[in-house]
Structure 1
Amino acid sequence: MAGIAIGRFDDSFSLGSIKAYLAEFISTLLFVFAGVGSAIAFNKVTSDAALDPSGLVAIAICHGFALFVAVAIGANISGGHVNPAVTFGLALGGQITLLTGVFYWVAQLLGSIVACYLLKFVTGGLAIPIHSLAAGVGAVEGVVMEIVITFALVYTVYATAADPKKGSLGTIAPIAIGFIVGANILAAGPFSGGSMNPARSFGPAVASGDFSGNWIYWVGPLVGGGLAGIIYPIVFMQRDHVPLSGDF
């Protein structure tokens, strides 16, 4: 398992790194624009998407498809994180330096904010929906739900994209990541909102000016992503030692 690396400023400001930040900004912008836009669109054509089963399915599918594309278009440039929790989990597993990870966060958050303001403009000022807990779901339950589903997401990222043993499985990483996000939204959407992504929740909060409960969508995803970033490398990415004489 690779150790956590702080990183150096010259590496974090190299041309390749700057291209990676731009790729994260664009990928996150496109993902959030489509994801939040799907919720706005469904709210416009129905009375309440949050309480409509077909709305849940439509929004889950849209997020899954959008993330599949966002990861795919960024994979060869930045790794296609599109999510501060993914970046955090990969940093804890030694896949990216902490310093570069901070700049990834900045790019992802800016991409989400710009996407939400663009949506506000192109929809004529329609309300930007924020993530929030359903009635009867407490903060602790919401955090635990976000921990579990974000663990599943980052674990999938490791298994299909970050593990050097992935082989040809890496070619389906974007679709696997999109599928787990869509599935998790179907499972958690009616309870915690199914964020898994601090940037996805932060942009709408900024654009709407409503930060109530936003901390849940930082604590839960970062803990879940961090756990996956620690557990997967330790358990599944250890290098096999060279057999000593007498080993059988």
Structure 2
Amino acid sequence: MGLESLQLPTYERIAEPIPWTKSLLDKFNIKLSTMDKFCQFLGEVIGTSMLVFLGCTGCVQNANFANSPLQSSLNVGLVVMVIVHCFGCVCGAHLNPAITLAVYIYDMISLTMSGVYFAGQLLGAFLGYGLMKALVPANAISLGGAAHGVCVPAPHPDITAMQAFWIEFIASAMLIITTCSAADARNNAFQDSLPIRFGLTVTCLGLSVGQLSGAMCNPVKAFAAAAWNYDFQDHWVYWTAPLISAAVSATFYKVIFKRDYVERRVLPEKR
């Protein structure tokens, strides 16, 4: 008997659905890979819907519902933390076309799945904002008669649209760099704290520039709020800034900072 036969067998852990689901897939001749892709789409729909519903509901305000920039920023950050924890293992919890674009540039998702993710995010954002309008008093959504409704992106009257563009560009860059660093092999040992780090990043951006440009950094969230309220003032800022920033920031990090671990044979030193 050789030494090889005394070694313990090596097992590979594979994520599979529960037996009932697996038998149902077999019955209808549905491949597990197809089911996984649908789950990724559904995860983005639900995750983005909850981001918009809970994130914007936490920002409503009128004479009966008090609010503040600190409360709104903390709320959105905590919502992101919870959603990343819930759906990060399902679909990565992008919740944002800018993040999906960065992940595509990182070669972590195909172009086809990027389109699927975008469709899920857009649908989820519309559903989330519509659910909020159905459940929350109209006066609270209009912020007690303010110029723009809750979560409707618009630059502060004291800054120009171009200034808002660069503010959103820089804020989006910080979000994308956070995403890129999380995918860096050197950060593999710190994945447990990923939801907290993303949540605190969003909170930081809200506290820093929320009152200036809205710190939206998310085209579908901006579009859903603008469409439901039919308020598209300087709306181009909230599509161009995050997406251009994602393309530039992700490419820059990938080329300059990104590192991958590779196996290398270590030769003994010659004496």
Q: TM-score, normalised by structure 2?
A: 0.77
Q: How far did 1:212 drift?
A: 2.0
CA contact (8 A) 2:185 2:261 kept: no
1:202 to 217, 220, 223: 223
Change (3 A) 1:244 1:164: closer
> What amino acid does structure 1 have at the position aligned with 2:210?
G
Q: 2:19 — aligned with what?
A: none
Q: In the aligned structure 1, how far is the partner of 2:226 from the partner of 2:92?
A: 26
The corresponding residue for 1:8 is none
In structure 1, the residue matched to 2:52 is 32
Is 2:123 the partner of 1:110? yes
- Select the structure of larger CA radius of gyration: 2
Report the residue type matching 2:85 in the other structure: A
* Partner Cα distance (2:163, 2:64) in 1: 31
Matched, 1:131 2:150: no
Match of 1:79?
92
Alpha-carbon offset, residue 229 of structure 1: 1.4
Give, in angstroms, the shift of residue 34 of structure 1. 1.1
Return the offset for 1:236: 2.5
Q: Which amino acid is 1:146 matched to? A: E
Does the 8 A contact of 1:71 with 1:82 survive in 2? no
Partner residue of 1:185? 206
Distance 1:201 1:116 in 2: 10
**Among 61, 64, 74, which residue is 1:45 paired with?**
64
Question: Relative to structure 1, is the Cα distance of residues 46 and 170 closer, same or farther in structure 2, using a 3 angstrom cutoff?
Answer: same
Q: Which amino acid aligns with 1:91?
A: Y
Write the letter of the residue equivalent to 2:167: M
Distance in 1 between residues matched to 2:63 and 2:249, nearest whole Å: 37
State the shift of 1:136 in Å.
1.9
Alignment of 1:87-102 (within 5 A): 87-102=100-115
Aligned residues: 226
Shift of 1:184: 0.6
CA RMSD of aligned residues (A): 2.2
The unaligned stretches of length 5 or more in structure 1 are 1-10, 50-54
Conservation of the 8 A alpha-carbon contact between 2:186 and 2:260: no
Contact conserved, 1:91 with 1:229, CA < 8 A, in 2? Answer: no
How far, CA to CA, are the matches of 1:168 and 1:239 in structure 2? Answer: 14
**Shift, 1:44, TM fit:** 5.0
Letter in 2 for 1:148: I
Q: 1:146: which partner in 2? A: 168
Distance 2:51 2:92 in 1: 15
CA contact (8 A) 1:139 1:216 kept: yes
Alignment match of 1:68 (pick from 64, 73, 81)? 81
Q: CA deviation at 1:168?
A: 2.1
Q: What do the CA deviations read for 1:49-98 (whole angstroms, capped 9, x no partner)?
A: 6xxxxx10000000000011111111101011111111111111212112
User: What CA distance in whole angstroms lies between the structure 2 residues aligned with 1:80 and 1:44?
Assistant: 35
Structure 2: 5+ residue stretches without partners: 1-30, 143-148
What is the CA distance between 1:102 and its match in structure 2?
1.2
Deviation, 1:238, is: 4.1
State the one-letter code of the partner of 1:15.
M
Bigger Cα displacement from structure 2, 121-130 vs 97-106: 121-130
What secondary structure sits across from 1:96 in the alignment? Answer: coil
Corresponding residue to 1:166 among 187, 194, 197: 187
